[in-house]
Chain A
Amino acid sequence: MSNLREKLEPLLLKVQKPARYVGGEFNSVVKDKAQVKTRLALCFPDNYEIGMSHLGLKILYSLINAREDCWAERVYAPWMDMEALMRENGIPLYGLESFDPLTDFDFLGFSLQYELSYTNILNMLDLGGVNPLAAERGNDDPIVWMGGPCAMNVEPLCDFADLVQLGEGEEIMLEMIDLYQKHKAVGNWDKQAFLRDAAQIPGMYVPSLYEVTYNPDGTVAAVTPKDGAPAKITKRICRDMDKAFYPETFVVPYTEVVHDRAVLEIMRGCIRGCRFCQAGFIYRPIRAKSPDVLCSQGKSLCETTGYEEMSLASLSTSDHPQVEEMLDKIIDYTLDQKINLSLPSLRVDNFSKELLDKVNKVRKTGLTFAPEAGTQRLRDVINKGVTEEEIMRTSRIAFEGGYTGVKLYFMMGLPTETEEDLLGITQLGQRIVDLYYSLPTKPKGKGVNVTISVSTFVPKPFTPFQWCAQDTYDTIVKKHDFLRHSLTTRKISLNYHEVKTSVLEGVLARGDRRLGKVIYTAWKKGCKFDSWEEFFDFDKWKEAMAEAGLTMEFYANRERSPEEVLPWDHIDVGVTKAFLLREYEKAKRAEITPNCKEHCAGCGANKLIGGGHCIG
């Protein structure tokens, strides 16, 4: 038992959910540290419940631990109560497998899933005894590397990261470890020399090897590579998902986490091309696993974890090229084993009667639609291929089948949005309510409940809307009021997301390197767990912006011209800037683009799989 664990023991009964902090979960991997060459900490900058739910880190955890010479551990952000006790008792942040402090690791990897987790990265490094500022870390300090969707524009975090991996980590991570071990074996360890060599690994971005200059108006003038680093860094992907590594098992937590089930990733990428959706573009091209591979992976996961529930993960289940065969096989297995299968919303129009009966045996969650916009015109602008007709048809079938509630998801603040589009949101809700009461099958004495959930649109890099101005805080608040007043019935309940967090999300999403100072200052002022409404302190962020001489409006509410050098232009995610611009122009004309299955739109992502057609 390590010294740290002994010091920890008396504290654990003083905090909520101590099982978060003790490790020892079934299938967690403990190795002899004397027998491994390289130690990596996989850090998720949020609490245990969220971090343990993340599929990407599960894949990397198993992948690295499959190597005998490496040991990967898990690190999550301790909750406020635990952090206070750790600081008070001089306990550094540690790996859950070894109880060794972060300073004992070779690599500290952070998963970037959402912008509002950034301050937690700084806080976790600091709590682990590691300086958050890359420039102030020494030659022998751990190497801080980052990856995940937000890494596609990692500029605001460049002050803190040594290395950033772009795209899917399965291959690039192992190459990085090999290079590191090679440098270590030679002796005379020189971190800078390692980083220079790492920049030559395709998909590896070393921020310190790029110099950014700015125009007088604050926009980026140029990003200039040095020491032989490539001018453009292209994201990495797994070309063949059937051959891509997938864990045979997951660590099974004691305490309930957000996604506490076997997760089967069926596909990467999306054919839909909804113009607001970053995931829809940065994960292109579409690559699916075959039904047989999925069945064997799902079986292995369930058997080794004992999970009683399995879910399918992808951006759109229905778009799997062999969706019927896949579902048929998976449902057979789960029914036989008494495993609950959760199926994200499916389009079932074309299914055979037999398969439909099987799908209906699977326990359904609520009925949800994501029209995202209130009118067909605006849905065409965002290229969301959901029609009102479809929603009404499916609702009718659902109501006739005994459902009494529907959930609708919308975004507010979409480009070209007018009052008519906002009214369209409540009108659609009203038409669903009317439909319910018009049906003769309506159960007696039971009302209908339509829930409308409205989030704020945040323009993201690598989408056709990356040039757009985000609605200001005041505008969104006014639109909320307008929407609330347009409600005519109590059968509709209206929920909003917090607006202030969306403003900051917008700033960080399209930020440049100058925001590093802002993030640092905000953290110094006490900001952390910013995605938790109860901890979010917008005033501190405003102060931090002002102290850096910057404004939120510059980043969030400014329309960019197509000629402007965007802070992320040196990153290549597959889809070309020319394609995104074409899509932006089409959006302004409310013109739709067919999905990839119907017609190739020439987005450019096919070059990542060596050209040709991605699907169909």
Chain B
Amino acid sequence: MDNPKIIVVEGTPVYDIRAFYRKEGRAKYISHLDLYRTIQRSFQRSRLPIWFTQGFNPHIYLTFALPIALGYEGVEESFDFRLRENLPEAEVISRLNAALPEGIVITRIAAPEKKAEEIEKAEYSLLFSSKNIPSGELLAKFDAFLSQESILTEKRTKKGPKQIDLKPSILASKTGLLGDAVSLDITLPAGIFQNINPTLLTDAFAAAAGLELDYRMIRRNRILCKDGSVFC
């Protein structure tokens, strides 16, 4: 890499790297915990000079700024890892991609610029339909649901279920019809302080309307920082 970020651990330089990847197709069914393991194993297979954490039980250093939920596709997701040598970007990408399972593709790597704490929001696109009613009707009901003054639902938290109002969390939204499905583009708070998944909103809608939703696509498009820039 041309501008590596070098940190020194116990007197040895290691190279801090952020990989940007797409998660699509069947890979969307990999949960976060499983993804973590999958990528560690991919590093092992790649034979890259990966850095292991020190200590009694060394393991491959790997960290995700913003985990992605099961069932979601991702366009520009990222994880951080460390190498013991500075290698050309193209080589790291190709060796890693050869070792990754179908549906996870590294698009670029770079020295990390932003910190996970700087993440503020994320943009999503969804497509959904319901066997219960035609999509035109579904769209009308969903628009009405969104235009309520408050949208109360229960969110699972570490301290148990909590009643929250989703309305103030909807930072931007656009609905429409695409083929026989309802489309939703939405911006929601994201990051380690507050993270709202769009399916929390659509599931709340389904429950309130007494409908069963079939998700055709749930995709995270971009992750944005407080200063408005894309997380990089």
Residues of chain A whose beta carbon lies under 8 Å from any beta carbon of chain B? 9-10, 12-13, 17-19, 22-26, 252, 254-256, 302-308, 338, 363
List the B side residues contacting A305 at CB < 8 Å: 41, 44-45
Contact B45 A304 (CB under 8 A): yes
Residues 161-188 of chain B, each 1 if its beta carbon lies under 8 Å from chain A, else 0: 0000000000000000000000000000
Task: Indicate if B31 sits at the interface (CB-CB under 8 A).
Answer: yes
List the A side residues contacting B70 at CB < 8 Å: 13, 18
A-B pairs with lowest CB-CB distance, top 9:
A306-B41, A306-B44, A10-B214, A306-B45, A24-B26, A26-B101, A18-B29, A22-B26, A13-B71
List the B side residues contacting A9 at CB < 8 Å: 216
Least distance between B197 CB and chain A CB atoms (Å): 13
Task: Indicate if B102 sits at the interface (CB-CB under 8 A).
Answer: yes
Contact B41 A252 (CB under 8 A): yes
Partner of B44, one of A24, A254, A255, A307: A307
The segment from B9-17, B32-40, B140-148, B152-160 found at the interface with A is: B32-40
How long is the Cα–Cα vector from A304 to B99 in the complex, in angstroms?
A: 9
Cross-chain pairs A/B with CB under 8 angstroms, 27 sampled: A9-B216, A10-B216, A17-B31, A18-B29, A18-B71, A19-B34, A24-B103, A26-B41, A26-B42, A26-B99, A26-B101, A252-B38, A254-B35, A254-B38, A254-B101, A255-B30, A302-B44, A303-B44, A305-B41, A306-B41, A306-B45, A306-B99, A307-B44, A308-B41, A308-B60, A338-B58, A363-B57
How long is the Cα–Cα vector from A23 to B29 in the complex, in angstroms?
A: 10
List the A side residues contacting B41 at CB < 8 Å: 26, 252, 305-308
Contact B43 A23 (CB under 8 A): no
Q: Is the interface of A mostly helix, strand, loop or mixed?
A: loop
Chain B residue with the shortest CB-CB distance to A304 = B45
Task: Indicate if B52 sits at the interface (CB-CB under 8 A).
Answer: yes
Chain B residue with the shortest CB-CB distance to A363 = B57
Chain A residue with the shortest CB-CB distance to B128 = A10
List the A side residues contacting B38 at CB < 8 Å: 26, 252, 254
List the A side residues contacting B64 at CB < 8 Å: none
Quick one: which of B37-73 are within 8 Å of A by CB?
A: 37-38, 40-45, 47, 52, 57-60, 70-71
Contact B102 A24 (CB under 8 A): yes
Contact B71 A306 (CB under 8 A): no
Least distance between B169 CB and chain A CB atoms (Å): 22
How long is the Cα–Cα vector from A23 to B102 in the complex, in angstroms?
A: 10
Given contacts A252-B41, A306-B41, A338-B58, contact A19 B215 (CB under 8 A): no
List the B side residues contacting A306 at CB < 8 Å: 40-45, 99
List the B side residues contacting A255 at CB < 8 Å: 30-31, 34
List the A side residues contacting B60 at CB < 8 Å: 308
How long is the Cα–Cα vector from A255 to B27 in the complex, in angstroms?
A: 11
Least distance between A238 CB and chain B CB atoms (Å): 29
How long is the Cα–Cα vector from A23 to B71 in the complex, in angstroms?
A: 15
List the A side residues contacting B215 at CB < 8 Å: 10, 13
Partner of A254, one of B34, B40, B59, B99: B34
Given contact pairs A25-B101, A308-B41, a sample of 13 additional A-B residue pairs in the complex whose CB atoms are under 8 Å apart: A9-B216, A10-B214, A19-B30, A19-B34, A24-B103, A26-B101, A252-B38, A252-B101, A254-B34, A254-B35, A303-B44, A306-B42, A307-B41
List the B side residues contacting A338 at CB < 8 Å: 52, 58
Contact A12 B214 (CB under 8 A): no
Least distance between B60 CB and chain A CB atoms (Å): 8
Chain B residue with the shortest CB-CB distance to A260 = B37
Least distance between A145 CB and chain B CB atoms (Å): 29
Chain B residue with the shortest CB-CB distance to A302 = B44
How long is the Cα–Cα vector from A363 to B214 in the complex, in angstroms?
A: 47
Contact A19 B40 (CB under 8 A): no
Least distance between B13 CB and chain A CB atoms (Å): 20
List the A side residues contacting B214 at CB < 8 Å: 10
List the A side residues contacting B27 at CB < 8 Å: 24
How long is the Cα–Cα vector from A24 to B43 in the complex, in angstroms?
A: 18
Given contacts A10-B215, A24-B26, A308-B59, contact A19 B31 (CB under 8 A): yes
Given contacts A254-B29, A338-B52, contact A24 B101 (CB under 8 A): yes
Given contacts A10-B215, A305-B41, contact A22 B29 (CB under 8 A): yes
Chain A residue with the shortest CB-CB distance to B59 = A308
Contact A254 B30 (CB under 8 A): yes
